[in-house]
Amino acid sequence: MKRMDTSKPFAFFLEFLLVLFFFALSAMIVLRIYAQAQTMHTKDQQSLQALAYARNAIARPENLEPGSYGLDPEMEKEGTYYQVVIEQDEDGKGTYQILHEDTVLVSLRYYAGGQEE
């Protein structure tokens, strides 16, 4: 009587599961890296845009009134809100910050000149 060997289909199935698990794990890692890269790209784009706006604002001294303001509507897209915080000392040194959802995107130090009394 000939004995049937049932271990070959089981070995193939086990090897197939191992390969499937490897590809699923690889795909999960690649997707996670892609999602982190996308998040970093979005934050960098916001920072670059805010930096350009801040540099232009600092170049015009009439825009450097101390206080907290909402950013221009042209920069606010799809309901995102940017806040500008300007702090200035009496000697003309100050800080210009742009925040997005309590995260500081840009923080620049500037010198507006001495205050006349």
- The verdict on residue 49 lying in a domain is yes
- Domain contains 116: no
pLDDT tens digit sequence for 48-99: 887 887 777 777 767 677 777 776 666 556 556 778 888 888 787 888 888 8
Domain count, the chain: 1
Instruction: Give the structural domain span for 60.
Output: 6-111
Query: Is the residue at 29 inside a domain?
Result: yes
Residue 61 in contact with residue 112, Cβ under 8 Å?
A: yes
Confidence of residue 117 (pLDDT cuts 50, 70, 90): very low
The residue type of 4 is: M
Domain membership flag for residue 80: yes
Tell whether 117 is covered by a domain.
no
Render pLDDT for 13-23 as a digit per residue (tens, 0 to 9).
899 999 999 99
Is residue 87 domain-resident? yes
Under a CB-based contact definition with an 8 Å cutoff, are residues 103 and 81 in contact? no
Q: Is there a contact between 104 and 97 (Cβ–Cβ < 8 Å)?
A: yes
**Number of C-beta neighbours around residue 75 at 10 A:** 16
Spell out where 50-100 has E strands: 67-70, 82-88, 93-100
For residue 93, what pLDDT is reported?
Answer: 84
* Whole-number Å distance between alpha carbons of 55 and 43: 18
Q: What integer pLDDT is reported at residue 65 of this predicted model?
A: 75
- Is 104 within a domain? yes
CB 66 within 8 A of CB 88: yes
Question: What global pTM score does this model have?
Answer: 0.56
Tokens representing residue 12 in the block: 């193939």
In three-state secondary structure terms, 26 is helix
